[in-house]
Structure 1
Amino acid sequence: MSVGEFCNRETVVVRKEESIVTAARLMREYHVGSVVVVEDADPGPKPIGIVTDRDLVVEILAAELDPNAVAIGDIMSYQLTTARDSDGLWDTLQRMRLQGVRRVPVVNAAGALVGILTSDDLLELLSDELGQLARIVNRERQREQATRDGALR
């Protein structure tokens, strides 16, 4: 399965000139833990950074800064890990682990933002797949039991 098949296409975005308060309001409104920072480009917005709810707590609240005086560009992560929509989920998961990131913006071949993939998304997918695997074992037991019961008669 490719990243593009699974990523969330409804990505919340901001510009680096916007305020931290704007980012926090968007996170609350859309119930997300991050916003992707983009710049306008052709053929679509290009991701240049990310700001997480943790960034707001660690960089702003814990430092007792005035959130209205800080722009998103002041605290966003500039070393952005992205995934292409054609990348495989397993390879992307490995890159996320190696880079120590829980969220990766997903881009198309032209570098335009098309979605976001989060560790929560991957946990949901993997738990569904593990559930399916567990059902295989149970189904095998049922089939084996039915076969034995039929053979004993």
Structure 2
Amino acid sequence: MSVGEICNRDVVVIDRKASVYEAARMMRNQHVGSLVVVDEDSNTPMKPVGIVTDRDLVVEIMAKEVPEEALATGDIIAPELLTAREADGVWETIMRMRAMGVRRLPVVNLGGNLCGMLTMDDLLKFIADEMSDLVRLVRREQKREQDTRPPA
């Protein structure tokens, strides 16, 4: 299975020039804990350049009492952004996320444009569904055994 099949396609984005307080308002209004930062001035306006999380805002801005006008979202994103392609395999992507210590991963198409977001929540749901399928298989096998081989 590919990450494109399980990622969330409804991604909330913000321009890298937007204020960090605009990011906080957007997270609150959209009920999300992270935004994908894009560079709207580039030739590909949906190319992700970073992620800003509610934790980033608390730890980097509020805890340090940074003035509102001092920073834009692009100022607090990590210099390197890990992404996944739609066709990437789920298990390989989990290994990459684990190796890099990230919980969220923008998913891009072949052109590098944002098309989704893969989160640890998405992966946990996927794994839980797979485990449920295995449990159903075991139960079905047990039932078949009982039906075809009644007690002696």
**CA-to-partner distance for each residue in 1:130-151, whole Å, 9 max, x for gaps?**
11111111121111112222x7
Q: Does 1:98 align with 2:73?
A: no
Q: TM-score, normalised by structure 2?
A: 0.91
2:137 & 2:101 partners in 1: Cα distance?
Answer: 33
Cα distance in 2 for residues equivalent to 1:107 and 1:90:
17
User: Deviation string for 1:75-126 (max 9, x for gaps)?
Assistant: 1122110011111111111111111001111111111111111111010111
2:136 maps to amino acid:
R
Secondary structure at the counterpart of residue 11 of structure 1: coil
Q: If the length of structure 1 is used for normalisation, what is the TM-score?
A: 0.90
Deviates more, 1:137-146 or 1:41-50: 41-50
Question: 2: CA distance between counterparts of 1:127 and 1:87?
Answer: 20
Aligned to 2:39: 39
Superposition CA RMSD, Å: 1.6
Distance 2:53 2:68 in 1: 14
CA-to-aligned-CA distance 1:21-62 (integer Å, 9 cap, x gap): 111122122221110011134455111111011111111122
Task: Go from structure 1 to structure 2 and tell me whether the alpha carbon gap of 1:144 and 1:67 turns closer, same or farther (over 3 Å shift).
Answer: farther
| Distance of 1:83 and 1:116 partners within structure 2 | 9
Aligned to 1:63: 64
**Contact 1:35/1:51 (CA < 8 Å) preserved in 2?**
yes
Aligned residues: 151
